[in-house]
């Protein structure tokens, strides 16, 4: 049973925009959700997170002011709007669910997430 499913990746040129979607299980609406990415030969890294109701957002410094995270719990979907894409944004992007409900914020560590999707490839050509 796939409980998180990413889509929207593709091949774009530097400076272009792309929006990723993550459909999540209805039961995940009570959890913080996040986006991570993994470039070839590198560890998976935090990109962004959104709180349960969407009021709080957090971003890695490398994407701040270029990426926007949001969620629509009624539609069971989280989004990552990416603008001014750079070749260094090239990676497989994953969405994940907070491992357990806590009051912690922000939630940036990979170990604090589970239920990963299969990922969607984003390739930014220079």
Confidence (pLDDT) at 2: 63
Q: How far is CA 27 from CA 31, 38, 50, 105, in A?
A: 8, 26, 16, 20
119: region left, alpha or beta (phi > 0 left; psi from -120 to 50 alpha): left
Confidence (pLDDT) at 47: 98
- Output the CA torsion 59→80→109→40 (10° steps): -110
Confidence (pLDDT) at 96: 96
In terms of Cα–Cα distance, which of 63, 72, 84, 59 is closest to 21? 72
Other Cβ atoms within 10 Å of 120 Cβ, number: 22
Interval 31-60 mean pLDDT: 97
* 5-39 pLDDT tens trace: 999 999 999 999 999 999 999 999 999 999 999 99
* 91-124 pLDDT tens trace: 999 999 999 998 889 999 999 999 999 999 999 9
Confidence (pLDDT) at 58: 98
Cis ω on the peptide bond leading into residue 65 (within 30° of 0)?
Answer: no
Distance CA 21, CA 101 (A): 22
Confidence (pLDDT) at 1: 64
Q: What Rg do the C-alpha atoms of the chain give, in angstroms? A: 13
* 60-85 pLDDT tens trace: 999 999 999 999 999 999 999 999 99
Write the CB contacts of 88 (distance below 8 Å, at least 6 apart in sequence): 39, 62, 124
Confidence (pLDDT) at 102: 86
């Amino acid at each position: 049973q796939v409980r998180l499913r990413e889509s929207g990746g593709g091949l774009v040129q530097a400076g272009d925009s792309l929006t990723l979607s993550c459909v999540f299980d209805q039961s995940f609406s009570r959890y913080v959700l996040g986006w991570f990415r993994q470039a070839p030969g590198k560890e998976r890294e935090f990109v962004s997170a959104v709180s349960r109701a969407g009021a709080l957002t957090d971003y890695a410094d490398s994407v701040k002011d270029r990426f926007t995270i949001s969620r629509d719990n009624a539609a069971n979907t989280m989004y990552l709007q990416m603008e001014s894409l750079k070749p260094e944004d090239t990676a497989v992007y994953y969405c994940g669910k907070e491992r357990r409900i806590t009051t912690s914020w922000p939630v940036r560590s990979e170990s604090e997430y589970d239920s990963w999707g299969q990922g969607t490839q984003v390739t930014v050509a220079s």
